[in-house]
Structure 1
Amino acid sequence: MPNQVNKTATHILAAICFILIVLVFKRNDVASSLFTSDHLQSFKTIFISILLEAMPFILLGVLLSSLLQTFVSESAIQRFIPKNPFLGILFACLLGILFPMCECGMIPVVRRLILKGMPVYIAVVFIMTGPIINPIVFAATFMAFRNHPSIAYSRMGLAFLVAVVIGLILYRYIKSNPLRLSSSSKTSQSELESHHHHHTDGFSRKITTFFAHASNEFFDMGKYLVFGSLLTAIIQVYMHRESLLAIGQGPISSHIFMMGFAYILSLCSTSDAFVASSFQTSFTPGSLLTFLVFGPMLDFKSTLMLLSVFKSRFVFSLILLISTVVLVCSLFWEHFLS
């Protein structure tokens, strides 16, 4: 019940913030007095443009994610997992093409897959690549970088390279189950799932579940998008361009900055490309790729979700592994493959 109350309060707060934003940006007497300087006008233009460009892709991603969440069982996916480790990693990398899900809904699904027998290294690769290597994210990235379409292809390739490296490392060193749930909890988990499926039998109930899931996920992703767009607009308008260029053109500092930026913003992978594209004149293409690959694999909100599902030691080891591999592979990609 407390979780439901907190979720409802969050939704109400997000709705109030959205209404206030609309009222502020609407041309009225108050807005006219507030938005008179060039800086504020630029801030409004950048903020709204990022928001409007990303919103259709978020909506499409939410609908598809809810459709899969409601009508496709995890056991149906688990039956197709290859036994060979490399083929299993390849399967996990390409699974997002068939099941394009946002990272917001990936971790709970993967937890159930692990409980049903999916190897941990395959599950983690699916968590990392599912939000990137899928047609919705590719279309959003291609649209955001219309003047530089190679970014969209490079994003897919770099994400695949990073996932393969991390998957092989996890296969080699992770032998125990890192889930917080012990083996004795699997029975109760199965009972809960059976109870859930019993109450969601029937097409009408599934339709209700579909719209409820879509509504919750839209608000969850929407608030991160609004926050990310707001912070991006503030940085671009009010941060000294000389300082931004000094960071953005650094051979390593630009990549590290973009990794931290992606972690803090916690944007959905269907919208982060529009934020990244607004930095094309300030940052190198390689650092933009780092932002586009690192963010969906690891950010603030996904860290909290990982800690709620996996053991803390495993999560912190995974954070260090993802950060190191993404940085090394992105530098390699920038110097040898771009």
Structure 2
Amino acid sequence: MSAFKLKWFPLLLPAAFLLAAGSIWLQRLPAPPDNVYLDTFKTAFLGILLEALPFVLLGSLLSSALRVFVPDETLARWIPRRPLPAILLSCLLGVIFPVCECGMIPLVRRLMHKGMPVYSAITFILAGPILNPVVFGATLTAFRAHPDLAYARMGLALAVSVLVGLVLYAAVKKPPLRLSLARSGGEPHRPEMRGGKAVSVFVHTADEFFEMGKYLIIGCLLTAGIQTFLDQGSLSAIGDRPLLSYLFMMGLAFALSLCSTSDAFVASAFLHTFPEGALLAFVVLGPMLDFKNALMLLSLFKTGFALLLFFLIFALVFTGSVLFSLVL
């Protein structure tokens, strides 16, 4: 199989998931929607959207402030030389510098070219979008009656990030980047905007907010559609099957590509249908590995390394979520 085909092979997974889910939904669709269906759809959509938007805006603002006021060299200098302290510090950077996954990969690419080891960079990519106070607050708000899910999300994200970093440190010896800095043409020069850094923060905030907002709206539309038009017996049948419920929610997280500050609100809509372990898998896998992130990772890293990374993330999130259910 050629490198081009290998590069696009992982993208068949969300397509297969959507086709399979669509075939089930089409068989269960009720009669053409009337006012009751439309009112239910609008109520579900607006409820999820309005609850999530403030956290998306706050995350965009903090991410933009980090981009404008904190130089990349400052972060790179903080990384220790020893692997375990470097991995742990990379996990904790998200607490100090909350960056959404939408802007994580471009930031980490700059840090890698400035000397950050690959295992630290991947750990930061995985942990940063989840292990920050904005996401923790959003998760607590979404699961008010189940705060254990918020703490479990932080714990599982930390464990998965550390384990992936350690495996990559032990297994990967060759540089996994597709292009070196010289071959890729270096980092583009960004002229300073008129009005100074404060204006730059607001401009970048608007860009990130609208970039993440379109994914949030798509996710809210799909979730509201599932709640309104999908036969509840079908959802209950999936939720009653442990393996199928985990795979369904993980596939949904990959396909929806929601922002980490809003995915918990979508997951909470399935709280009475799916087990808590499946919802935990949804909110941990999505920020670490979704459709848009897979594209960016495949463009940044060599195909073999990216496939290894995808397998590690999926296997560890699935195992950790099942263990969480067993402990409960």
- Shorter chain as denominator, the TM-score bin is 0.7 to 0.9
Q: In the alignment, which residue of structure 2 is the partner of 1:285?
A: 276
Q: In the alignment, which residue of structure 2 is the partner of 1:232?
A: 223
Q: Distance in 2 between matches of 1:317 and 1:267?
A: 23
How far apart are residue 52 of structure 1 and its match? 0.2
Counterpart mapping for 1:94-109 below 5 A: 94-109=92-107
Structure 1 residue 298 corresponds to structure 2 residue 308 = no
Q: In the alignment, which residue of structure 2 is the partner of 1:181?
A: 179
Q: Distance in 1 between matches of 2:52 and 2:264?
A: 8
How far apart are residue 233 of structure 1 and its match? 0.6
Q: Distance in 2 between matches of 1:36 and 1:248?
A: 28
Structure 1 residue 308 corresponds to structure 2 residue 299 = yes
Q: In the alignment, which residue of structure 1 is the partner of 2:143?
A: 145
Q: In the alignment, which residue of structure 2 is the partner of 1:171?
A: 169
Counterpart mapping for 1:248-287 below 5 A: 248-287=239-278
How far apart are residue 172 of structure 1 and its match? 0.7
How far apart are residue 114 of structure 1 and its match? 0.6
SS at match of 2:174: coil
Higher relative contact order (CA 8 A, sep 6+): 2
How far apart are residue 269 of structure 1 and its match? 0.3
Give CA deviations for 1:112-161 in whole Å, capped at 9, x if unaligned.
Answer: 11111111011001101101010000000000111111111110001111
Give CA deviations for 1:286-337 in whole Å, capped at 9, x if unaligned.
Answer: 100000100000000111111222222222221122111111121122213x
Structure-1-length-normalised TM-score: 0.84
Q: In the alignment, which residue of structure 2 is the partner of 1:12?
A: none
Q: Distance in 1 between matches of 2:293 and 2:181?
A: 24
1:82 maps to which of 58, 80, 83:
80
Q: Distance in 2 between matches of 1:167 and 1:263?
A: 21
Paired residues in the alignment total 297
Structure 1 residue 136 corresponds to structure 2 residue 127 = no
- Could you tell me whether the CA contact under 8 Å between 1:269 and 1:296 is conserved in 2? yes
Q: In the alignment, which residue of structure 2 is the partner of 1:48?
A: 46
Q: In the alignment, which residue of structure 2 is the partner of 1:58?
A: 56
> Unaligned stretches of 5+ in structure 1?
1-33
SS at match of 1:79: helix
Q: In the alignment, which residue of structure 1 is the partner of 2:320?
A: 329
| Range with bigger deviation, 306-315 or 42-51 | 306-315
Q: Distance in 2 between matches of 1:134 and 1:259?
A: 22
Structure-2-length-normalised TM-score: 0.86
- Structure 1 residue ranges (4+ consecutive) displaced by more than 6 angstroms after TM superposition: none
- Provide the alpha-carbon RMSD of the alignment: 1.7
How far apart are residue 79 of structure 1 and its match? 1.0
How far apart are residue 67 of structure 1 and its match? 0.6
1:246 maps to which of 231, 237, 245:
237
Q: Distance in 1 between matches of 2:204 and 2:179?
A: 24
Q: Distance in 1 between matches of 2:311 and 2:172?
A: 15
SS at match of 2:321: helix
Identity %, equivalent residues: 53
